[in-house]
Copies of this chain bind each other. A is one copy, B any other.
Amino acid sequence: MLQPATRDTRALSGPTRLAHLFMSQFIQPGDLAVDATCGNGHDTLLLANLVGPSGRVWAFDVQERAISATSRRLGQAGMAERVELILGGHESLAEQVPTPVRGVMFNLGYLPGGDRSIITRPKTTRTALDQALSLLLPGGILAVTAYPGHAGGDCEEEMLREWSATLPQPLFHAWRMGQVNTPPGAPYLILIQKAA
């Protein structure tokens, strides 16, 4: 399936940039997508942009502050109508999203600029990740940006390693993408594709 897309030659400077590159490659106008951790809304805005006016995005966060920031950002871009904002944990993803989706994004750790004691927890994250995989359409992708450097990041890393290593082949293509010339604790990307 070869169709026009957007060429984006910005620097491959971190895992968020890679996540955006893959989402841009796979999500098309009219698609459905999920931002499981909307934070300040950067990923939500990307997804809203990619799915276009005929698509739909569900965006979750446990913090009111994150939902407000995302709502503001979407409003400024004129994309509020494409997105359903949900104040709640992403472990309710399967309940809230009624239909299979093309892409799901997770950005773990704490809210930038917010309360650093409110972090994603390995157990609820794992539940949400499993739900995200069930929601994926064949060929759809899940991108998880992880930050082993923050407090609690090591438990999360262990969970992610164990979880991703046991995903069944050939049903899932599961990748770890990390920078190799950075200090230990640098963020990395887990990218999963459900086979078509």
Contact = CB atoms under 8 A, between A and B. Distances in A.
Interface stretch (A65-73, A83-91, A113-121, A166-174): A166-174
Interface stretch (A56-64, A122-130, A145-153, A178-186): A178-186
Contact of A181 (B5, B12, B167): B167
Which 8 residue pairs of A and B lie closest in terms of their CB atoms, listed nearest first? Answer: A5-B7, A174-B181, A177-B177, A3-B7, A164-B180, A167-B181, A12-B193, A12-B173
Contacts of A180: 161, 164-165, 167, 174-176, 190
Interface stretch (A20-28, A36-44, A74-82, A93-101): A20-28
Give the most central of A5, A164, A178, A193: most B CB within 10 Å: A5
Interface residues of A, number: 43
Copies in the complex: 2
A11 B196 contact: yes
Contacts of A7: 1-5, 25, 28
